[in-house]
Structure 1
């Protein structure tokens, strides 16, 4: 226990808790739990960058691994403990430090929940456009560490596009302060990009300067029924031509998902069915702009043109905010009803937008050839190529690895990504070579070794370099339980 004693001497008992005092929620992310024997040494709850710096300097000297944690809504095991680690939770580092309403920026602490950031931007007359279902629980630092995407990527880009600057602490305790507020700054390497999407494997993000967007004055939403994905692909092109940058969401739901969402809505007593079951595909399309009357006319004209061209078989246009919320509740309800379906294997992948329909069909055929009892559920952010794909088979124990190899093989054949927006973490690291070349992986290891030569930062996650710790053999991946009040709800 020498390491624990030294950590407490450096930071105090209020900051460093022993293993026996760690709440259970810190022993897993939303999907990947620590395995037996992988108990952490301690939980650290710093309040300042200085405390994070002193903690990492002490862990570096003691050769103690560190696993950063944000809101614990991840799905890939990036925040899952490894044996003997210090869990570094940023939950106490919350707050909006500066609002620059003139420049359209926010400077925030990394543990601040995304929803609080959105509310601060709105209060200043701006929009922070990143939006995901776990907005009330996920932290903005975790959003940056995983390069979160969500519902508005089509218009505003990923988290990487929304960060102007950041502050991070390196594994040896050094603080890199790069709190840039300018859009144009080519004075050397853009160091923030080292940490965005690195999943805590290179350092700990402690502050961010966020880029805000003008707050739209109008929003138009429709739920459409189509024959197949080919029609959706043609509609996407038509929407881009007609709406230009006003197109803000293009979400697809295959029939299996839509019917489950309707059943869930009925159980919740939420309204009438907007579109009847029985169509080949369902699509939620949305635009936002700054001229309400003109925007509404253009959006309605788009839907009418799509119907006339035979792309849309039926459509329901939102006539109120309540309608819009009801449409989005259908799309976002998967995290509510999917856990009740029992054992399943879930995928968050991306392929070129035009190939999504063929990808889903090919995956189903290859999986069904091996498991005739196959059940699949597909939905996602089709406008940016991101698909969520759920697989169930009757075999027990569930052949997780074999299913993953089949699906990721289909991803690889299309030059896609095994990790669209939830990161690699522990879960996907064995499959990284399906999306990245040997040269790319070698370069990642070179960067990891340069910034973290002792291999203490989130060991075994993303990519492990030579001589560095690898993922514990006992890590457990299982469906999340029904969420108690203290457990964040992760949404896709």
Structure 2
């Protein structure tokens, strides 16, 4: 009997849009969260917004829940399917309209990859300043529904700062089209904000007007060795004051991360020979390649003279810039170096970061002797990433105990359980640590108003 609603869906929408049974591709049975694969009740692959609307209308009539899917690169389980729900993948909706160079924006469908948007912007002499390591796989819809971040948030902001207009489909099939291209538009509620960061629980994003930026004419970087977190925060203040809008990234690596990854990946460049309490990558980019790069060198020199920076390497070429970033970007190799790991995306006030790292790393060593926890992240915007080996024993139970320790320790330091990866299913048990009862009640009120039958991504976030 479980197959019957899926067959009705296929018969009504057509075999081109709906796949059922074993024909459902393996890629649509899981995301990157590490949860075990699950075959959904059916897979719907719409080609247009009208197809999405028709699918949601029919699913509502049949009482079928719907799990929206983008590039499936999420780490919190928001796009992970369930056996009793329909997976709705936007993978066919990849159109990108010609860039509007006058208004510096582009219209893209939700299934377009981040890399495709970058390429379209670049061809027009512009740049889309949301950038993630999964750029070749992650999609516009997924980036916006999770309010993605990345390394340049310090200068350009989170994904929601790059959205001018949006089109989304509600649970009952209603299409809400707010395809605004204007930077200023205060005519009533800013409805797009309902869907940005809501992880597909309030509506399914199908298209967006994305704000583009002028393409910098130069980008350079420095790798700095600092005594401790206090010195690194002093350096951050100096860089903000001395570089202003030229500062585009400020990334930190604690010795736990630096030493573990550089030892495990000996072929990676190690530009700094000595040992330091904190390693910082500073990136500057701008539009006057003849004069502005010297500002980074000057501010860096002043920081060295003041004892804020113990040692530093300033890139002199694009190759050297890549070498300075290589270790920071080695996160894809965690599994190879450390074995099974759990990745945590934490937000914390900058002045509490050092104490949080100390508490997390010491706590791991105390509770699970022999395990390693490493710390790194976007220090400039208060986003700490913590990666720890998973304790032995029952995988789910061990992971849960580790997560409980990490999230309770983080919120005790004034932080949040999610900085840029969303809540999904993996962080849902701890939402109450980061949001007040009144906030959660309001979230439930919004959910009930927009999705009264509860069919959109049920069990996620709330």
Question: What TM-score range do you get, normalising by the shorter chain?
Answer: over 0.9
Counterparts of 1:137 and 1:247 in 2: how far apart (Å)? 27
Structure 1 range deviating more: 389-398 or 310-319: 389-398
Which residue does the alignment assign to 2:272? 275
Counterparts of 2:46 and 2:191 in 1: how far apart (Å)? 24
Which residue does the alignment assign to 2:402? 403
Counterparts of 1:266 and 1:215 in 2: how far apart (Å)? 34
> Superposed, which structure 2 residues align to 1:101-250 within 5 Å?
101-250=101-250
Counterparts of 2:155 and 2:127 in 1: how far apart (Å)? 13
Counterparts of 1:393 and 1:264 in 2: how far apart (Å)? 18
Flag structure 2 segments of 5+ consecutive residues without an equivalent: none
Which residue does the alignment assign to 2:63? 63
Counterparts of 2:35 and 2:43 in 1: how far apart (Å)? 16
Which of structure 1's runs of 4+ aligned residues deviate more than 6 A?
A: none
Kept in 2, the 8 Å contact 1:121–1:128? The answer is yes
Counterparts in 2 of 1:340 and 1:42: CA distance versus 1, 3 Å: farther
Q: Displacement of 1:373 after TM fit?
A: 2.7
Kept in 2, the 8 Å contact 1:32–1:80? The answer is no
Q: Displacement of 1:34 after TM fit?
A: 4.3
Kept in 2, the 8 Å contact 1:15–1:44? The answer is yes
What secondary structure, in the 3-state scheme, does the structure 2 residue paired with 1:167 have? Answer: strand
> Superposed, which structure 2 residues align to 1:429-468 within 5 Å?
429-463=428-462
Aligned alpha-carbon RMSD (Å): 1.5
What secondary structure, in the 3-state scheme, does the structure 2 residue paired with 1:379 have? Answer: strand
Structure 1 range deviating more: 42-51 or 403-412: 403-412
**Residues 1:255 and 2:252 are matched in the alignment:** no
Kept in 1, the 8 Å contact 2:391–2:399? The answer is no
What secondary structure, in the 3-state scheme, does the structure 2 residue paired with 1:313 have? Answer: strand
Q: Displacement of 1:266 after TM fit?
A: 3.2
Encode CA deviations 1:323-345: one digit per residue, 9 max, x unaligned.
11222222111112334422332
Q: Displacement of 1:52 after TM fit?
A: 0.6
Counterparts of 2:64 and 2:337 in 1: how far apart (Å)? 39
**Residues 1:19 and 2:14 are matched in the alignment:** no
Kept in 1, the 8 Å contact 2:360–2:406? The answer is yes
The structure with higher relative contact order (CA 8 Å, sep 6+) is: 1
Kept in 2, the 8 Å contact 1:170–1:176? The answer is yes
Q: Displacement of 1:262 after TM fit?
A: 2.6
Q: Displacement of 1:395 after TM fit?
A: 4.1
Counterparts of 1:118 and 1:146 in 2: how far apart (Å)? 19
Normalising to structure 2: TM-score of the pair?
0.96
Which residue does the alignment assign to 1:345? 342
Encode CA deviations 1:397-428: one digit per residue, 9 max, x unaligned.
45222222222112212332101111100100
Counterparts of 1:256 and 1:412 in 2: how far apart (Å)? 22
Which residue does the alignment assign to 1:28? 30
Counterparts in 2 of 1:339 and 1:459: CA distance versus 1, 3 Å: farther
What secondary structure, in the 3-state scheme, does the structure 2 residue paired with 1:294 have? Answer: coil
Kept in 1, the 8 Å contact 2:364–2:373? The answer is no
Counterparts in 2 of 1:264 and 1:120: CA distance versus 1, 3 Å: farther
What secondary structure, in the 3-state scheme, does the structure 2 residue paired with 1:68 have? Answer: strand
Kept in 2, the 8 Å contact 1:108–1:207? The answer is yes
Counterparts in 2 of 1:366 and 1:337: CA distance versus 1, 3 Å: closer
Which residue does the alignment assign to 1:475? none
Counterparts of 2:337 and 2:26 in 1: how far apart (Å)? 22
Q: How many residues align?
A: 458
Counterparts of 1:339 and 1:175 in 2: how far apart (Å)? 45
What secondary structure, in the 3-state scheme, does the structure 2 residue paired with 1:283 have? Answer: strand
What secondary structure, in the 3-state scheme, does the structure 1 residue paired with 2:328 have? Answer: helix
**Residues 1:308 and 2:310 are matched in the alignment:** no
Normalising to structure 1: TM-score of the pair?
0.90
> Superposed, which structure 2 residues align to 1:283-362 within 5 Å?
283-362=280-359
